[in-house]
Amino acid sequence: MVEKRYSRNSSPPPKRAAPSKTDDRLFGLGTKMIVADSKNPYFKGTQAIHNIAELDQNIASFEHHEAPWVADWLEYLGDAETAGKIRAEPAHFKRFIHDRATELRNIYK
């Protein structure tokens, strides 16, 4: 194989790291959780919450007894991991939602 030579004034293009499996998984999950096309919203009273970003913004209005319903809705959107965490520790469901929303926001920057 012949190597490409570069002149003194040019340098080889930078090598890019291959995306990890985790990034691909989170990117796909983020699409489901942030875009949430063709998915029914979660209704909190008369307010419709369409995605995890809106859920994170309105999390203060939720009470601990609503954790199982929120977990079911997140699983419906496609996030079984966060739903499982909420079911295991419902007292911390607000933190789990905020952490996941932050993680997905960072991928979509």
In tens, the pLDDT along 64-74 reads 999 999 999 99
Higher pLDDT residue, 76 or 2?
76
Q: CA neighbours within 13 Å on the CB side: how many for 19?
A: 9
Please report, for the chain, the start and end positions of each structural domain, with discontinuous segments joined by +. Answer: 30-107
Asked whether the predicted pLDDT for residue 51 surpasses 90, the reply is no
Angle between helices 80-88 and 67-77 (to 10 degrees): 160
Report the pLDDT value the prediction gives residue 68, as an integer from 0 to 100.
96
- The amino acid at residue 61 is S
First vs last C-alpha separation in the chain: 39
